[in-house]
Homo-oligomer: A and B are copies of this chain.
Amino acid sequence: MSRNVTILGAGLVGSLLSIILKKRGYEVSVYERRPDMRAANMSAGKSINLAMSARGWKALDLAGLRADMEPLAIPMYGRYLHQPDGQTAFQPYSRHNEAIYSVSRGELNRKLMTLAEQHGASIHFEHKCHGVDVANNVVQLSHNGADKTIQADLLFGADGAFSALRTSYTHMNRVNCDQHYLEYGYKELTILPGATGEWLMEKNALHIWPRGKYMMIALPNTDGTFTCTMFMPFEGEVSFAKLNTPEDVHHLFDTQFADAKALMPTLIEDFFTNPTASLITTHIAPWHYKDMSALIGDAAHAIVPFYGQGMNAGFEDCTVLADLIDTHGNDWATILNKYDTARKPNGDAVAALALTNFVEMRDKVADSRFLERKKIEKELGNRFPDRFISVYEMVSFSHIPYNTAIQCIQAQDKLLERIMNEGDFFVNLAQSSFCDSLTTWVNEYHAAVQQLDFGKNATG
């Protein structure tokens, strides 16, 4: 007998999951804390645009939503760097002209909600979950000022970094967890379009202003604007705490972001109206309770946004779960146990990758040795396509498990160090003895990592 499913949260992951489960014949009720964002104006002035990559698209395929989203997704083929003196440079992400895609979070969420309802899921808005009696699967909600109790049959917590189900898990015996904030906050700012609605910077790129201890990024929107995000320490020499007056902000932007500032007529208003938001990483184990409930998406693994993988990782949780349902039918004890075992190491890995990429984005992308390495990685991919894929490509353009990607980092560091210690790579390539050594080194790298799981999915 098929089970009734209760999902906490109608965000990206909760909505997608409800579609996947409806397609497999489950009854699905979703409880969402906020009002219906399709009716209300929901901008909190603290969104960071999504960067949809391979894992995200795969899940949209599963939901049948690719065709709807493609026209709204703007391909970004690389990083577009802006130096303080106005110099710029473009670093392609891939050797095959692959892109990650700028997508509006609101747009995607609204479409997923509507599709979920079209498939027959019911979404109950303005239902705040206070907690869950995990052992009995009883959900405590409040709605319109009144308390409401739901007896769940099969329960998913897709309710984000501050998940009520996650909090209830942490009160159980032998549950390990942590939450850690970066000492950095972020603030949403806007670059406006030209007079005829045109994009005033390169549209098909992710723009970065790397400044060592802080940085700004900008992603294109379909309306000609760019959503900018400033990442900066809360306290310290250059920090949000030091930016208290319009003069402070003008001074910073005049000296560090002059090219962007010229396109930001609402800078001062945006800066002092939009909140300074914080960035959290969470871990928890286990991710499930018996055959009764599980965490998914940010509720299981809230991560920082610097690899653009938050939504992609949450969507991949859904595809892994869908595969397990297709394999194990209605055996939810097995499904949830295998889901936990398969996904937890990958949730840990993507959290670590996201933290590491912050250093790369704000600091290393402007470093000449780093840029040289990126060029060499690209050439290695061309010469040894069956033996070398860069970690960035594994994460963004493949379905190789995150945990495998992270396990490759050390071996790739060793390989690239060997190569770069020989001097100029592209000069050396002219010597056949170097090319022979290169083949040997790449083969050694390949042998070192090939026992890892590069499988199409991580469900084993």
**Which residues in A have some Cβ–Cβ distance to B below 8 Å?**
162, 167, 170-171, 173-181, 234, 278
Let me know if A181 and B177 touch, CB within 8 A.
no
- The contact of A173 among B173, B175, B278, by CB within 8 Å, is B278
For A279, the closest partner residue in chain B by CB is B174
Expressed in whole angstroms, the Cα–Cα distance for A179 and B180 within the complex equals 12
Let me know if B179 and A175 touch, CB within 8 A.
yes
Expressed in whole angstroms, the Cα–Cα distance for A179 and B169 within the complex equals 12
CB distance from A353 to the nearest CB of B (A): 20
Let me know if A178 and B179 touch, CB within 8 A.
yes
Expressed in whole angstroms, the Cα–Cα distance for A175 and B280 within the complex equals 9
Let me know if A179 and B179 touch, CB within 8 A.
no
What would be 18 A-B contacts, judged by CB atoms less than 8 Å apart? Answer: A167-B167, A167-B171, A170-B179, A173-B181, A173-B278, A174-B181, A174-B234, A174-B278, A175-B179, A175-B181, A176-B178, A176-B179, A176-B180, A176-B181, A177-B178, A178-B178, A178-B179, A178-B180
For A183, the closest partner residue in chain B by CB is B174
Expressed in whole angstroms, the Cα–Cα distance for A307 and B171 within the complex equals 26
Residues of B within 8 A of A178 (CB): 176-180
Expressed in whole angstroms, the Cα–Cα distance for A177 and B170 within the complex equals 12
- The contact of A171 among B162, B174, B175, by CB within 8 Å, is B162
CB distance from A197 to the nearest CB of B (A): 37
For A181, the closest partner residue in chain B by CB is B174
Expressed in whole angstroms, the Cα–Cα distance for A178 and B175 within the complex equals 11
Residues of B within 8 A of A179 (CB): 170, 175-178
Residues of B within 8 A of A177 (CB): 178-179
CB distance from A167 to the nearest CB of B (A): 8
Expressed in whole angstroms, the Cα–Cα distance for A1 and B29 within the complex equals 55
CB distance from A297 to the nearest CB of B (A): 19
Residues of B within 8 A of A167 (CB): 167, 171
Expressed in whole angstroms, the Cα–Cα distance for A174 and B279 within the complex equals 8
Residues of B within 8 A of A176 (CB): 178-181
Expressed in whole angstroms, the Cα–Cα distance for A180 and B162 within the complex equals 19
Residues of B within 8 A of A162 (CB): 171
Residues of B within 8 A of A278 (CB): 173-174
CB distance from A373 to the nearest CB of B (A): 33
Expressed in whole angstroms, the Cα–Cα distance for A171 and B160 within the complex equals 13
- 5 smallest beta-carbon distances between A and B, as pairs: A178-B178, A174-B181, A176-B180, A173-B278, A174-B278
CB distance from A46 to the nearest CB of B (A): 12
Residues of B within 8 A of A171 (CB): 162, 167
CB distance from A33 to the nearest CB of B (A): 14
Expressed in whole angstroms, the Cα–Cα distance for A176 and B178 within the complex equals 8
18 further A-B pairs in the complex, CB-CB below 8 A; given A175-B179, A178-B180: A162-B171, A167-B167, A167-B171, A170-B179, A173-B181, A173-B278, A174-B181, A174-B234, A174-B278, A175-B181, A176-B178, A176-B179, A176-B180, A176-B181, A177-B178, A177-B179, A178-B178, A178-B179
CB distance from A158 to the nearest CB of B (A): 19
For A170, the closest partner residue in chain B by CB is B179
Expressed in whole angstroms, the Cα–Cα distance for A278 and B175 within the complex equals 11
CB distance from A124 to the nearest CB of B (A): 23
Expressed in whole angstroms, the Cα–Cα distance for A90 and B170 within the complex equals 42
